[in-house]
Structure 1
Amino acid sequence: MPDSAVSVPSSRLRKRALAAAGLVVVAGAGLALGDWSDSRGAAPPAAPPPVPVVTAQVERRDVPHWQDTIGTVTALNRATLRTQVDGVLTDVLFHEGQTVQRGQLLARIDDRAIRAGLDGAQARRARDAAQLSAAQSDLTRFRQLSGGQLIARQMLDQQAASVQQLQATAQDNQASIDAARVQLSYTRILSPIDGRVGLRKVDPGNVVRASDADGLVTVEQVDPISVVFALSQDQLPNLRQATAGGAVAVQALDRDAGRLLAEGELKVIDNRIDEATGTVRLRAVFANAGDRLWPGQLVSVRVRTGRDAGALTVASEAVQRGVEGSFVYKVGADSKVAAVPVKVGYQDSALAVIAAEAGALKPGDTVVRDGQSRLKPGAAVASARPRATVLR
């Protein structure tokens, strides 16, 4: 059969293709119209739920200024007991770690040689005193005889010189006796202060010498006790102003738990600033009847350097740092937050003092204390009950 008999004319093929394309266009338009009608009839998206936060109140209160640092507990007084004479240590009259009183006898050194020397000096004084008495009697008689020109003037002068010589000898004897008594007192080791003795460094029976560097034992005064610490030289004006106003409170706290160990007061500001560190050393004194502070112990120290009376305050956690400075999120009456710029005058772990020019905040305002990471200006919040800020 010829090919022309079974083939379809090209004109008919074109008509079929155009018809199919038209159907596709109509179907697409119908789908688009359906989508448009559905979007117009749908409800708008729901608003995001309020952000849960913890809030706090802006308050006006007196705020003490505290500076934190690290200090070392030191004995208020410390004495190393050393012998001032050479001899055998015969008696030790204390127990290691014992609390002793000033003037208490702690040890004795063999004093027999010194006592013998004292006895000899006293004997010489008695002998020379007898000679002086006889010479003074002779001088009295010579003066009587000289008045009647019964003896030469030369004999009277010689006798007067002998009396003066014996008087000088008597004074020398007394000085020797006094020196021997001082040496004898050195054989009794007394505590120079109230305190606690440490470990004994020499046992009885050993020869001790005045040149021994270690001494016999140390005594440290631990009640009251002191803490030595350093602060930046920038704090020196505040410290001087605080001391001019009266006693400066100092707290000693446990370094691990932050537990308050003792409360005392600042006693000494060093007379110079350390050039290497730019700090000034200070000493505070604490009552220590319960031995809560121990010499050599490291403690956290808080020094009260000033006070803001009637200051506008917020919780420290409420203050955020941004590119343009510090700000807080203030919660409005509609439960939405606004970012309020603030200038912080003083801040510690509990409170931040807001400068007076921050007019956007006033006592009684509510600010966000926790949960700021999910906030932005205008966000709605659901606040938990405000927590009270406790001053330390």
Structure 2
Amino acid sequence: MQGKKISVLLIGVILLMAACSSGDKGQAVPKVVPVMADTVMQRAVPVEIRAIGNVQAYSTVTIKSMVAGEISQVHFTEGQEVRRGAPLFTIDPRPLEAALKQAQANLARDQALANNAKVDAKRYEALMAKQAIARQQYDQVRTNATALEALVHVDEAAVDNAKIQLGYCFIHSPLDGRTGNILVKRGNVIKANDTELLTINQIIPISVAFAVPEQSLPEIKKYMARGMLKVEALPPNDTRGAERGVLTFIDNAIDKATGTILLKGTFANKGRRLWPGQFVDVVLRLTTQPDAIIVPSQAVQTSQSGQYVFVIKPDLTVEVRTVLVNRTINNQSIIDKGLKAGDRVVTDGQLQLVPGAKVEIKGSLSTPEKGS
């Protein structure tokens, strides 16, 4: 009788412990976890390389004077856009105009002497034929005529040089571009080929220089061989979208210090949104990847064993799925392995989840106000 009482007492204790254990588990694991979820999409996505670029003038020219003199006129204002051939500066031309006139006078004098020497040479040639003069006398006259003819050529070269020097007094723009600060004002006297007067930057078109890791070079060369690669440049704090251009330059050596290769894109820049010296976000588009598997990057979690996502099954329970992420673009992860189009993945609320947990979908990142 006493043994039966002890058995009954033991069974009661076991049942009480089981009830307490069951109650503790109910408190640790919620029955339903509210989460945000999105559907795995499949679509074509661009294969891109992103970098920070620096805008550079397509061409830069520093203006100097080829002759010495006083700056008598400035034909533009600072910051003005000028066309090729537009007048910029005038150096006082009067000294060089006088030098040109002197050279022309020397030419006229020596031409007259040379013409007279030719006549004398013909006259002495006739006398020589009649043996009326000595041979030595004839040779002297002929040599004098030849020397005067050579002197005329020297004078002609001097006139040409004087014209060139006079032309240097009128400085014109060698390209279409935008003028910078005037470094030497009107009235200053300058030396020949010494003082910088002005810098002109060509900004239409314009270049953007950027560096990418050397590991990207084979892919860039591969796709560039198939055609021109498109480049986008987005100025900071600009909501009008990116400027579009093409890749036009790959440097001939990799920078050993940084392990990068320098590239340049050329942009039409008709709206003048890109400015020399400006830093921009650059996107180099290599190709388009068809049928890529895409999920919001918030869905991808990281553990010691790799990256994973919580996939919601039809019965609204979750399972852990290991994934292989190729790259992330604009908060969208491109998945190479582990998911298929149509899968639903948890994008918020993962901290409360364990495999097999039941969830309630409150919405998605794209439409959080809608439930499922």
Q: Same fold (TM over 0.5)?
A: yes
Pairs aligned (count) = 359
Q: Of 165, 168, 171, which residue of structure 2 is paired with 1:189?
A: 171
CA distance, structure 2, for counterparts of residue 338 and residue 146 of structure 1: 122
**Structure 1 residue corresponding to 2:53, chosen from 62, 71, 75:** 71
Query: 210, 213, 216: which one pairs with 1:232?
Result: 213
**In structure 2, what is the Cα distance between the partners aligned to 1:363 and 1:269?**
38
Instruction: Please give the per-residue CA displacement for 1:142-170, whole angstroms capped at 9, x wherever unaligned.
Output: 33343343433333332332222112111
In 2, are the aligned partners of 1:261 and 1:293 still within 8 Å (CA)? Answer: no
Q: CA deviation at 1:288?
A: 1.8
Name the amino acid aligned to 1:303. Answer: L
Structure 1 residue aligned with 2:342: 364
CA gap 1:383/1:146 in 2 versus in 1, 3 angstroms: farther
Query: What secondary structure is seen at the aligned counterpart in 2 of 1:376?
Result: coil
Partners of 1:328 and 1:367 within 8 A in 2: yes
The partner residue of 1:140 within 86, 105, 122 is: 122
Equivalent runs, 1:31-46 vs 2, <5 Å: 36=16
CA shift for structure 1 position 89: 0.7
CA offset at residue 90 of structure 1?
0.6
Give the RMSD, CA atoms, in angstroms: 3.2
For 2:158, the equivalent position in structure 1 comes to 176
Corresponding residue number in structure 2 for 1:105? 87
Which of 326, 347, 354 aligns to 1:376? It is 354
Structure exhibiting the larger radius of gyration computed from Cα positions: 1
2:370 corresponds in structure 1 to none
Q: Distance in 1 between matches of 2:170 and 2:256?
A: 45
CA contact (8 A) 1:114 1:183 kept: yes
Equivalent position amino acid for 2:30 in 1: P
Alignment of 1:301 onto 2:279: no
Q: Does 1:54 align with 2:32?
A: no
2:200 paired residue number: 219
Give runs of aligned pairs for residues 222-261 of structure 1, distance below 5 A: 222-256=203-237, 260-261=241-242
Give the drift of 1:220.
0.9
Alpha-carbon spacing, 1:123–1:337, altered in 2? closer, same or farther (3 Å): same
Tell me the secondary structure at the aligned position of residue 251 of structure 1. Answer: strand
Distance 2:90 2:190 in 1: 11
Contact 2:35 2:363 in 1 (8 A): no
Q: What amino acid is the match of 1:275?
A: K
**Map 1:260-339 → 2, pairs under 5 A:** 260-339=241-320
Residue 259 and residue 323 in structure 1: after superposition, are their counterparts in 2 closer, same or farther (change >3 A)? farther
- Output the CA distance in 2 between the equivalents of 1:203 and 1:209: 14
How far residue 301 of structure 1 moved from its aligned partner, in angstroms, is 1.6
Shift of 1:124: 0.6
- Runs of 4+ aligned structure 1 residues displaced above 6 Å come to none
Aligned partners of 1:251, 1:38: CA distance in 2, in Å? 66
* Partner AA of 1:51 in structure 2: V
Deviations, residues 280-333 of structure 1 (Å, cap 9, x unaligned)? 222112122222112111222222234323333333332222221122222211
Query: Contact 2:40–2:293 at 8 Å: present in 1 too?
Result: yes
Which amino acid letter does the alignment assign opposite residue 255 of structure 2? D
Aligned partner letter, 1:224: P
CA contact (8 A) 1:238 1:306 kept: no
The offset of 1:51, in angstroms, is 2.5
Provide the C-alpha distance between the structure 2 equivalents of 1:39 and 1:243, rounded to a whole number of angstroms.
71
- Following superposition, the deviation at residue 369 of structure 1 comes to 2.8
Structure 1 counterpart SS, 2:355: coil
Q: In the alignment, what sits opposite 2:191?
A: 209
Q: Distance in 2 between matches of 1:121 and 1:365?
A: 91
Mark the CA change 1:38 to 1:130 in structure 2 (over 3 Å): closer, same or farther: closer
Contact kept, 8 Å, 2:67 with 2:193, in 1: the verdict is no
Between stretches 239-248 and 109-118, larger displacement belongs to: 239-248
> CA offset at residue 36 of structure 1?
5.0
TM-score w.r.t. the length of structure 2 is 0.86
Q: Percent identity?
A: 39
Letter paired with 1:262 = E
Give the letter for the 2:100 counterpart. L
CA distance in 2, matches of 1:345, 1:39: 49
Distance 1:299 1:181 in 2: 48
- 1:37 and 1:316 map into 2 onto residues whose CA distance is 45
Indicate if the aligned counterparts of 1:65 and 1:346 stay in contact, CA closer than 8 A. no
Q: In structure 1, the residue corresponding to 2:204 is in which secondary structure? A: coil
Partner of 1:131: 113
1:93 to partner: Cα distance: 0.9
Q: 1:192 to 1:309 in 2, by over 3 A?
A: same
